[in-house]
């Protein structure tokens, strides 16, 4: 990394940290436990919503999970229409189509039902409705001038934490890049953590989303912008994930484990929306843009590799996380090493490999350049990574069939 880039990164981070501290400390009204989604729908009715745009994906409609939510809205006296055109890594075309549906149906509120992709799309659609109708004019930091339409969220996976974050991500299908939206107005006003909606998740989705939440928590904990409060949330999330992810993976019907994982994702979301993330996310975003790798899976592949890169600089923090999950160790360096090994062991227990089969050797230079460019804008990482160092890390993530 050039001296100029290091200087720029060092100059930007204090500003990012200050902005983080100045952000309003909002937390959505939160319903938890089996049946929480029904309680949220009742609350939407009590707030006087006339017609709600339910933003989801076709898969959740097909398995009739969305029908459970629309039935609850109907019982609460709220009319609704469903937009199910959201795909993983939603594009601007999908967001525009959702906004068109909102206008056609004259909706006055938005309810996201699903994982991170429907929640990202719903946030942008709700903001477009009150800010001129053009998504690209809202890109970046603090560009949402007017409050969104009333916005609610029901996560159906335990991973993204998007129900409590200020951010949304939309992909540009032509440039293979992701566009970020960040503004406190994008946080939903109410959310429901309903483990009964998550019991049917396939094991591989449970694994990927759980590791996504772990990545949020760990990157938040070791961030240079972390505070005692964000570290408390992140520690709780890490502990819950290590205690409950293998159970949720092995027995999807275990409501206690599902509830614990939903709370872990929620706490991790509260933490990282106030601290930001790091190189794991930067690399995962590039994997998603190039190969449409599910975000949680991409994070899981990259996480131990990036932690190894930052192990010396983040040793104290990683050792504290090792203690939080009950590991015994000697000095801080030993604690950091044992925590990283525990992450690898957890990945193995939920059948996520160390490598990404889709990764192609020829793409590594471009992916490395994209990842470090994203991270060096404002990610509060404990150790700066050059393009060459990122490329070397990516080499270790190549699968056995890599071209």
Residues 225, 193: one domain? Answer: no
Does residue 401 lie within any of the structural domains?
Answer: no
Q: Is 176 found in the same domain as 119?
A: yes
Residue 4 located in a structural domain: no
Ramachandran region, residue 326 (left: φ > 0; alpha: ψ -120 to 50; beta: rest): left
245 and 344, same domain (yes or no)? yes
Which of 150, 156, 155, 126 has its CA nearest to residue 138?
A: 126
Last residue of a domain, one of 130, 164, 197: 197
Specify whether 113 is located in the same domain as 168.
yes
Helix (H, G, I), strand (E, B) or coil at 240: helix
If asked whether residues 243 and 152 sit together in one domain, one would say no
Is residue 20 assigned to a domain? no
Query: Which domain range does residue 233 map to?
Result: 201-395
pTM for this predicted structure:
0.92
For residues 380, 140, 156, 148, the Cα torsion angle rounded to the nearest 10 degrees is 130
Residues 174 and 220 occupy one common structural domain: no
CATH label of the domain that carries residue 335: 1.20.1090.10
**Same-domain check for residues 193 and 310:** no
d(CA 256, CA 14): 41
Q: For residues 267 and 290, state if they share a domain.
A: yes
Nearest of 155, 275, 153, 295 to residue 217 by alpha carbon: 275
Is 182 a domain residue?
A: yes
Would you write out the chain's pLDDT as a tens digit for each of its 403 residues? 444 444 444 444 444 444 555 566 789 999 999 999 999 999 999 999 999 999 999 999 999 999 999 999 999 999 999 999 999 889 999 999 999 999 999 999 999 999 999 999 999 999 999 999 999 999 999 999 999 999 999 999 999 999 999 999 998 777 767 788 999 999 999 999 999 999 999 999 999 999 999 999 999 999 999 999 999 999 999 999 999 999 999 999 999 999 999 999 999 999 999 999 999 999 999 998 899 899 999 999 999 999 999 999 999 999 999 999 999 999 999 999 999 999 999 999 999 999 999 999 999 999 999 999 999 988 999 999 999 999 999 999 998 866 6
Question: CA–CA separation, 161 vs 1, rounded Å?
Answer: 32
Phi and psi of 383, rounded to 5°? -145, 130
Between strands 167-172 and 177-182, the pairing is antiparallel
User: Which of 145, 171, 197 finishes a domain?
Assistant: 197
Q: Which residues of 337-347 are buried (b: 16+ CB within 10 A; e: fewer)?
A: bbbbebbbebb
For the chain, the domain total comes to: 2
Which residue is listed with tokens 């998603």?
Answer: 288
Q: Are 181 and 20 a contacting pair, CB within 8 Å? A: no
Note whether 54 and 74 are same-domain residues.
yes
CA 316, CA 100: separation in Å to the nearest integer? 50
If asked whether residues 210 and 352 sit together in one domain, one would say: yes
Q: Of 171, 197, 223, which residue sits at a domain end?
A: 197
CATH number of the domain at 166, please: 3.40.50.1970
**Which of 110, 99, 210 minimizes the C-alpha distance to 157?**
210
Q: What gap in Å lies between CA 135 and CA 401, rounded to an integer? A: 39
59: which residues sit within 8 A by CB, 6+ positions away? none
- Angle (deg, nearest 10), helices 364-378 and 279-291: 140
């Amino acid at each position: 990394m050039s001296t100029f880039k290091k200087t720029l990164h060092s100059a930007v981070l204090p500003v990012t940290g200050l902005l983080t501290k100045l952000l309003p400390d909002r937390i959505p009204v939160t319903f938890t436990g089996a049946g929480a989604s029904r309680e949220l729908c009742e609350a939407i009715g009590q707030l006087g919503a006339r017609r709600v745009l339910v933003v989801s994906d076709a898969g959740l409609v097909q398995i009739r999970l969305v029908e459970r939510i629309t039935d609850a809205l109907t019982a609460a006296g709220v009319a609704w229409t469903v937009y199910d055109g959201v795909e993983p890594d939603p594009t601007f075309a999908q967001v525009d189509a959702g906004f068109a549906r909102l206008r056609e149906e004259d909706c006055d509120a938005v309810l996201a039902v699903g994982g991170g992709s429907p929640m990202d799309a719903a946030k942008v659609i709700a903001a477009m409705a009150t800010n001129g109708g053009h998504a690209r004019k809202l890109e970046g930091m603090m560009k949402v001038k007017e409050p969104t339409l009333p916005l609610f969220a029901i996560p159906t996976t335990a991973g993204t934490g998007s129900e409590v974050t200020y951010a949304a991500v939309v992909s540009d299908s032509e440039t293979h890049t992701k566009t970020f939206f960040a503004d406190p107005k994008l946080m939903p006003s109410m959310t429901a953590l309903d483990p009964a909606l998550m019991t049917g998740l396939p094991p591989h989705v449970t694994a990927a989303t759980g590791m996504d939440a772990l990545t949020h928590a760990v990157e938040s904990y070791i961030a240079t912008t972390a505070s005692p409060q964000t570290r408390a949330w992140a520690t709780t999330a890490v502990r819950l994930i290590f205690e409950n992810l293998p159970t949720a993976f092995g027995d999807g019907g275990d409501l206690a484990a599902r509830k614990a994982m939903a709370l872990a994702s929620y706490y991790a979301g509260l933490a990282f929306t106030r601290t930001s993330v790091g190189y794991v996310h930067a690399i995962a975003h590039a994997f998603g843009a190039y190969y449409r790798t599910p975000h949680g899976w991409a994070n899981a592949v990259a996480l131990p590799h990036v932690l190894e890169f930052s192990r010396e600089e983040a040793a104290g923090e990683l050792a504290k996380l090792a203690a939080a999950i009950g590991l015994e160790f000697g000095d801080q360096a030993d604690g950091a090493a044992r925590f990283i090994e525990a992450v690898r062991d957890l990945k193995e227990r939920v059948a996520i490999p160390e490598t990404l089969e889709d990764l192609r050797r020829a793409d590594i230079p471009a992916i490395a350049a994209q990842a470090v460019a994203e991270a060096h804008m404002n990610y509060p990482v404990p150790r700066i990574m050059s393009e060459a160092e990122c490329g070397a890390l990516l080499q270790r993530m190549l699968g056995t069939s890599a071209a």
